[in-house]
Structure 1
Amino acid sequence: MGSGTLDAVDQGLLRALQLDGRAAFSRIARQLGVSERTVGRRYGALRALGLRVVGQPVPARLGMTCWLLRIQCTPDSAGTIAGALARRADTSWISLASGGTELYCAVTTPGPHERDALLLDKLPRTPHLVQISAHCLLRLFTDITSTWYATGIPFRRRGTGAGGAPPPRCDVIDLTAPLGLDDIDHVLVAALAEDGRAGLPELAAAAGCSPSSIQRRLQRLRSQGALGFCVDFAPRHLGYHLMTHLWLRVAPGELSAIGRALASHPEIAFAAATTGPHNLVASGVFRGDHDLYDYLDRRIGSLAGVQAIVTAPILREVKRLTR
């Protein structure tokens, strides 16, 4: 199997995993009309191409805050600064755009102290850094399975693909009382960050408790919206060669409606309301520049309330998913 040779079974498997990263191969096989052995073999081949299923905590559900940083730097320093940010445990997604002088970085902070240490102390002292703008993500309109932690494989939305029911949406969960994690939960989340499909015996050994206890904890974390599973797979293997950041300025009264509209578009891997001069940010995945133009002209252009849009094609991904 190589790039550009994924058939309907491969794509069905990817869609099923995006809907439920821990779906049993037997269940996926029934949905796709193939044998369980075939699903296992195809999964192994996709892993050889770079497929990863990764467990990710949902920051808002745990009382943490997500920030999107836009960092302007000199051309000769972009790689060094990006590499330093990639080594930080609190960064989850870093890309290089705008002629190689602008970095986009997703950061999750548990509280004001960690936020200030990075934004007010560490980054301002970084050599060759020209400008920083920090945008607090106020509301996610996409599910955990399709945020920037993945690479935005276009897929059929809830209710139309194989693999079972999707996890709860972040925008409909009560966040007034953030869910706390105990020591075993933290061990479990860390193990799933390495391999989201790790078996119950393996997870139980890491956490020092029984498989049945691990199963109950998994069910609790998922049902309460604290844990999701992301599919990390390069879109180029499916013929998508252009990833683009989209910054939209939207009329305030239309923000939720347009955010939900973007989240329903298969081209959009991530969409969120944010602070700053543009109050909606998104990431899109396209086959090429023609598809991007068509999307901007027909899809974005038809949305009443969009006042302005700025596009920034991604030149290189420096980091995908926290590791």
Structure 2
Amino acid sequence: MSLDQLDTAIVHALDVDGRATYARIGSVLGVSTQTVARRCRRLRDTAGLRVIGLPDPEQAGLTRWLLRITAAPAGARGLADSLVRRGDTQWVKLVSGGTEIFAIVNATDDGDSARAMLLHDLPRTASVHAVRAHCLLHSYFGGPSAWRGRRDSLDEAQQAELTEPQPRMPFAQIRPLHAGDGPLLTALQRDGRASHVELAQATGWSQATVAHRLAELRSAGSIYFDLEIDAAEYGVRTHAMLWLAVEPAHLDTVARELAEHPEVAFVGAITGPSNLMVNALCGTPAELHAYLVTRIGRIDGIRGVETTPVLRTLKASSPIPDRRRSHP
């Protein structure tokens, strides 16, 4: 399947507001509500389109760890699948010929789950040869900031029309994220477009309480809505993780420059010899080569780059995997 102009416009609209009604999207795009709904169903079935709600990691008290696990070829896929099933992982990928697994682990402030995985679970797995763990110190681009490759279909006026103003609430009156929000967050991680009726069933709250709490959390920036869709639908055939060693004095400048590149879907400062990680999306290996040589290679302060190609994404941004589709 290849996306047509209306498909890309609908995806861009959902990137602007993942919970925008089909009627509002249709009004902005000049098509019927039924057309938008039909297209979204088709995109879900053929391209893995999915809106998910996620907590702001800092407000949720989460520390994110980027794991690079080297495993025996025969056991790598099984280990990756076990990571997919965990509720604290995101972006589980098979990279580097299928013998390396990349995963993001969300650890609470106490860090118990991350310590258990790193010190107990993974070392006891016979197929694991080595584990490298990098703490994500700062995210420069990604998460609420969507990849620009899917955000070029709507003009500024259309985007403004889709941006639903959130009710202004005095900050002192907004309750921060707490354990009682767990069922709501879990439901939104499964389906960010779940109706108030569905969210009420998941939480045991009234629809009015769901609507108020959702508005409260959005107003405070405590949650945001992300979009999952197969990047191949946008011509991406070459996906790579770039591990950059950057001189500390240049780290912030380099990261901010990379965050403006259209090839980049994520930029984060991390611990370790490679202190900056970049997720790059390109059309072909030749385009990736050109990007590394003509863009990355000309930035002052970068001492070295390790490139690991992504073979398959088994789990995307939601901690709850989409069982209906395996992302290539």
Normalised to the residue count of structure 2, the TM-score between the two structures is 0.86
Q: CA shift at 1:265, angstroms?
A: 2.1
Match of 1:170 in 2: none
The change in CA–CA distance for 1:242 and 1:166 in structure 2 (over 3 A counts) is farther
Match of 2:140 in 1: 141
The change in CA–CA distance for 1:265 and 1:219 in structure 2 (over 3 A counts) is farther
Match of 1:75 in 2: 73
The change in CA–CA distance for 1:36 and 1:302 in structure 2 (over 3 A counts) is farther
From 2, 5, 9, give the equivalent of 1:8.
5
Q: Which moved more, 1:35-44 or 1:71-80?
A: 35-44
Q: Deviations over 1:42-98 (max 9, x none)?
A: 112111212111112222221110000011111111112112222211111211111
CA contact (8 A) 2:149 2:234 kept: no
Q: Which runs of 5 or more structure 1 residues have no equivalent in the other structure?
A: 168-177
Corresponding residue SS for 1:62: coil
State the alpha-carbon separation in 1 of the partners of residues 295 and 176 from structure 2: 37
From 44, 59, 67, give the equivalent of 1:61.
59
After the TM superposition, which segments of 4 or more aligned residues of structure 1 sit over 6 Å from their partners?
A: none
The change in CA–CA distance for 1:223 and 1:289 in structure 2 (over 3 A counts) is same
The answer to whether the aligner puts 1:181 opposite 2:156 as a matched pair is no
Q: CA shift at 1:247, angstroms?
A: 0.7
CA contact (8 A) 2:50 2:191 kept: yes
Equivalent AA in structure 1 for residue 12 of structure 2:
R
Report the RMSD for the aligned CA atoms in angstroms: 2.4
CA contact (8 A) 2:149 2:262 kept: yes
Corresponding residue SS for 2:74: coil
State the alpha-carbon separation in 1 of the partners of residues 249 and 30 from structure 2: 45
The change in CA–CA distance for 1:277 and 1:31 in structure 2 (over 3 A counts) is same
Corresponding residue SS for 2:278: strand
Q: CA shift at 1:302, angstroms?
A: 3.2
State the alpha-carbon separation in 2 of the partners of residues 87 and 134 from structure 1: 19
Corresponding residue SS for 2:177: coil
Q: CA shift at 1:166, angstroms?
A: 9.7
The answer to whether the aligner puts 1:40 opposite 2:37 as a matched pair is yes
From 251, 255, 269, give the equivalent of 1:255.
251
Normalised to the residue count of structure 1, the TM-score between the two structures is 0.87
Corresponding residue SS for 2:150: coil
Q: Which runs of 5 or more structure 2 residues have no equivalent in the other structure?
A: 166-174, 321-328
Q: Which moved more, 1:21-30 or 1:62-71?
A: 21-30
Match of 1:173 in 2: none
**Identity rate, percent:** 39
The change in CA–CA distance for 1:52 and 1:82 in structure 2 (over 3 A counts) is same
State the alpha-carbon separation in 1 of the partners of residues 17 and 256 from structure 2: 21
Alignment map for 1:136-285 (pairs within 5 Å): 136-146=135-145, 154-156=149-151, 160=156, 162=159, 164-165=162-163, 179-183=176-180, 185-285=181-281
Q: Deviations over 1:174-219 (max 9, x none)?
A: xxxx943142x21111111111101112212322222222122112
